[in-house]
Amino acid sequence: MAVKNIMIVGVGGQGTLLTSRILGGLAIAGGHDVKLSEVHGMAQRGGSVVTFVRYGEKVAEPVVEEGQADVIIAFEQLEALRYAHFLKKDGALIINDWKIDPMPVVTGAAQYPEHIIENLKEKYKVYTVNATEEAKKLGNSRVFNLIVLGIAAQHMDFSKEQWYSVIEHTVPQKTIEINKKAFDVGFEL
């Protein structure tokens, strides 16, 4: 199998690590070679964060480079825009319809770009959801990333049972049910 390249982008603290670990677990369960690359330390503190997951027959480098991503999972609009050029032709861009102002915008030094989703739709295959609002409806705004992951799952080759099994092994015991529910919301959109 050709190596599949997935990126998860967002803002430090949004749970990109958890999401990449679910994807990593899934790739292993599928019997693939897999590499993940994560961001720890200073950049994690509210900064722009990108995590790479690569799986297939044999994976060399642990990062995905420009023009190579099959799927980009973006937890925030501006971060979707920042990394969209990493997509390969026909790659899927899944965007949580949510904005978090970066500090240059808060201080007035920069403007948050307008119409990000509309503009990205002109160039890429874009799928959007307001996962943060959907997650609030489920009673826990923090599970929004599983909703986004549910949409991404539609563009990957794993069965729902495989996803469930990895979610059960990755998220804290107490939150398994709500995370599975959140995954379903995205998977069925």
> Does residue number 1 form part of the binding site for another protein (CB under 8 A)?
no
Candidate residues 5, 6, 12, 15; the one interacting with another protein per rule CB under 8 A = 12
- The rounded radius of gyration (Å) of the Cα atoms in the chain is 16
Residue numbers 14-73 binding another protein by CB under 8 A: 24-25, 28, 33-48, 59-63, 65-68
Continuous H helices in the chain: 16-29, 77-83, 103-106, 116-123, 131-138, 144-153, 160-170, 176-187
Determine which residue in the list 50, 74, 81, 147 makes contact with another protein, applying CB under 8 A. Answer: 81
Binder of another protein out of 1, 106, 159, 169 (CB under 8 A): 106
CB of 12 to another protein, least distance (A): 7
Among 85, 115, 160, 169, indicate the residue that binds another protein (CB under 8 A): 85
Kindly give, in sequence order, each residue whose CB lies less than 8 Å from that of residue 83, ignoring residues fewer than 6 positions away: 7, 9, 50, 72, 74
Nearer CB in complex with another protein: 133/184 = 133
Termini Cα distance of the chain: 28
Task: Tell me whether residue 45 or residue 160 sits nearer to another protein (CB atom).
Answer: 45
Among 109, 122, 139, 188, interactor with another protein by CB under 8 A = 109
> Two tokens at 177?
């049910």
CA dist., res. 70 & res. 91, Å (int): 5
d(CA 108, CA 125): 32
Query: Quick check: helix, strand or coil at residue 114?
Result: coil
Where does this chain bind another protein (CB under 8 A)?
11-13, 24-25, 28, 33-48, 59-63, 65-68, 78-79, 81-82, 84-87, 89, 100-107, 109-113, 123, 132, 141-142
